[in-house]
Amino acid sequence: MNAYSVLEIALVSLIVAACAIKAFGRFAPRMRMRLQARLANALDRPGRAPWLRKAGQRLGAAAPDTGCGSGCGTCDGCGPADAKPVHLRR
The three-state (H, E, C) secondary structure of the chain, written as one string:
CCHHHHHHHHHHHHHHHHHHHHHHHHHCHHHHHHHHHHHHHHHCCCCCCHHHHHHHHHHHCCCCCCCCCCCCCCCCCCCCCCCCCCCCCC
Using only the alpha carbons of the chain, give its radius of gyration: 20
Each residue of 34-84: pLDDT tens digit? 998 999 999 999 999 999 999 888 988 765 555 555 555 556 555 556 677
pLDDT at 11 over 90: yes
Contact status, residue 4 vs residue 16, Cβ threshold 8 Å:
no
